[in-house]
Amino acid sequence: AQKVTQAQTEISVVEKEDVTLDCVYETRDTTYYLFWYKQPPSGELVFLIRRNSFDEQNEISGRYSWNFQKSTSSFNFTITASQVVDSAVYFCALGPGKGDDKIIFGKGTRLHILP
């Protein structure tokens, strides 16, 4: 079965602090994709990153970075020098797998950046 676990339900940090959002996944597929989405209060799902299961290179995009560790089935997301505009719910997601269309989302982590 496919599963995504985001153990942190809610995190609060003060602006300019770094924060890491954890994501652990389970899958039997050898080919899969991992995603991070941001959902601000307005409700839309903002795509942040898609990572192929064969590409374990870490990625940095501005203040955002992702650490993909296949050995521990983790795909953690770090925001450096956080800003108030980063406040949102962040979803880690998995899929689709072979013969399976759907994306499986984690429960999300609500991030509060305090001024």
Residues at the site binding another protein, with contacts judged by CB under 8 A = 31-33, 37, 43-45, 47, 50, 52, 91, 96-98, 100-108
Beta bridge partner(s), residue 55: none
Six token digits for residue 48:
């942040």
Is the Cβ–Cβ distance between 15 and 26 less than 8 Å? Answer: no
In angstroms, give the least distance from the CB of 25 to another protein: 13
Taking the complex as a whole, how short is the minimal distance between the CB of residue 98 and another protein, in angstroms?
A: 6
Strand-pair partners of 59: 66
Give the residue from 23, 40, 24 showing the smallest Cα distance to 110.
40
Helices (H), the chain: none
1 vs 47, beta carbon nearer another protein: 47
Nearer to another protein, 1 or 115 (CB): 1
Judged by CB, which is closer to another protein: 16, or 102? 102
CA nearest neighbour of 17 among 91, 97, 113 = 113
List beta partners, residue 12: 112
- Least distance in angstroms from the C-beta of 81 to another protein: 28
26 or 100: whose CB is closer to another protein? Answer: 100
CB of 17 to another protein, least distance (A): 25
